Amino acid sequence: MEFTVESLETPALTKAQLAELLFEQIGLNKRESKDMIDAFFDLIATSLVDGQDVKISGFGNFQIRTKAPRPGRNPRTGEAIPIDARRVVTFHASHKLKEQIQGNGAGADDS
């Protein structure tokens, strides 16, 4: 049995795999598929950078949240250090996605 670094990592769905699915299932050529996936994620990223929430019906919401500055602590030394204010992205799954995850586990389609 051969072990690779990839086999030890948690499997992830990549942009390349999404582009391949568009190529196989919809019939776009590989270049169009890659461009469409890149444009999709660029649009989401640009919207979030601009402070706009992104809502994908049936999937979930990506929201920008501003976290206030707060006191922190260096875990090694115990020294108090300030943590600056920052913007973070949060994701909240839609009820439909939550139901699919809870009901199917493998992501099969109930409809």
| CATH 4.10.520.10, the chain: domain bounds | 14-52, 57-111
Query: Coil, strand, or helix at residue 1?
Result: coil
The model's pLDDT over 6-34, given as tens digits with 9 standing for 90+, comes to 555 668 889 999 999 999 998 889 999 99
- 57-111 folds as HU Protein; Chain A (4.10.520)
- For residue 89, pLDDT over 80 is answered with yes
Share of the chain above pLDDT 70, in %: 85
**Domain 14-52 adopts which CATH fold?**
HU Protein; Chain A (4.10.520)
Single pTM value for the model: 0.70
**What does the buried/exposed string (b/e) look like for 54-68 if buried means 16 or more CB atoms within 10 Å of the residue's CB?**
beeeeebebebeeee
pLDDT of residue 108: 47
pLDDT of residue 3: 41
Average pLDDT over residues 88-92: 96
Question: For residue 107, is pLDDT > 60?
Answer: no
